[in-house]
Amino acid sequence: MHLYVVRHGQSFVNLPDWDGLDSDSPLTPLGEKQAEALAAWLPGQLKHIDALYSSTMRRAKATAARLAAAYGVEICLDHRLREIGNNRIDHSPFPEGASPSRSDWNAFEPTERPFAGVAKAEGSESIMHFRIRVAAFIEEMIEQHPEQTIIAVCHGGVMGAVFDYCFGIGPWPRCEIWTSNTGVTHFEYVAHPGRETWRLHEHNTIEHLHVYADMLV
């Protein structure tokens, strides 16, 4: 299986002056252009995909919509691809408008207490519950799409959780995975008898932002 993990275009939550209140903010005008550049470029590099998955958050869905149009496929929405802190401990999303604001997040670094809630809100997931839901998505993809190619549009935190899973990182990661808006990461899963192998082919590819630089002005 070839898994292409794509971060959403720039959202208002990525801006320095974000007030921390609406965690499900849409794409900025620049983010819209980044998504358009990605959709114009990626099919020329990756000719065929078997499925397109997306987080149910607005910025990811808007990015995925451009890819869906470019590839002529439907979007499979999945709550497990939502950004950390936006789901409950049972992996279900908080109701619309009820997600914890950034100011409600606990001050400690989640990796210091990996099973403590990320946010003060009742029922908030922990860093480990977050990683478990991302891992559950990946393992389902292995079962559903053997020998196939899929794209998952998600968030920066999810990208880190994918790396943690594929590299077998324990509860306390020591390296943060940074991914640009619309950056593309390509993992390959190879099922060997008696063992499993993940191959990282590329991370944070943003060639489209250079090829279509004029579009982003």
Residue 117 has pLDDT above 90, yes or no: no
Tell me how far apart the alpha carbons of residues 148 and 131 are, in angstroms, rounded to a whole number: 24
How does DSSP assign 36-71, residue by residue?
HHHHHHHHHHS---SEEEE-SSHHHHHHHHHHHHHH
* Alpha helix stretches (DSSP H) within 125-191: 127-144, 156-166
The mean per-residue pLDDT over the stretch 93-122 comes to: 78
Pairwise pLDDT comparison (163 vs 193), residue with the higher score: 163
pLDDT value at position 106? 73
Q: What is the pTM of this model?
A: 0.94
The 10s digit of each residue's pLDDT in 46-101 is: 999 999 999 999 999 999 999 999 999 999 999 999 999 899 999 999 887 777 87
- The pLDDT confidence band at residue 20, using thresholds 50, 70 and 90, is low
pLDDT value at position 101? 77
pLDDT value at position 16? 87
Structure tokens at 5: 């993990």
pLDDT value at position 110? 66
Residue 105 has pLDDT above 90, yes or no: no
Query: Which of 217, 138, 216, 150 shows the shortest CA–CA distance to 184?
Result: 150
Cβ-count burial 75-94 (b if 16+ within 10 Å, e if not): beebebbbbbbbbbeebebb
- The pLDDT confidence band at residue 34, using thresholds 50, 70 and 90, is very high
Other CB atoms within a 10 A radius of the CB of residue 3 amount to: 22
The mean per-residue pLDDT over the stretch 28-54 comes to: 97
Q: Strand, helix or coil at 209?
A: helix
pLDDT value at position 76? 98
- The pLDDT confidence band at residue 180, using thresholds 50, 70 and 90, is very high
> What pairs with residue 186 in β-bridges?
4, 202
- Give the architecture-level CATH label for domain 2-216: 3-Layer(aba) Sandwich (3.40)
Tell me how far apart the alpha carbons of residues 177 and 156 are, in angstroms, rounded to a whole number: 8
Under 8 Å CB-to-CB from 195, ≥6 apart: which residues? none
The 10s digit of each residue's pLDDT in 143-172 is: 999 999 999 999 999 999 999 999 999 988
Residue 205 has pLDDT above 70, yes or no: yes
Average pLDDT over the chain, rounded to an integer: 92
- The pLDDT confidence band at residue 28, using thresholds 50, 70 and 90, is very high
pLDDT value at position 22? 77
Q: At what angle do helices 58-71 and 29-45 cross, to 10 degrees?
A: 40
Report domain extents, the chain: 2-216
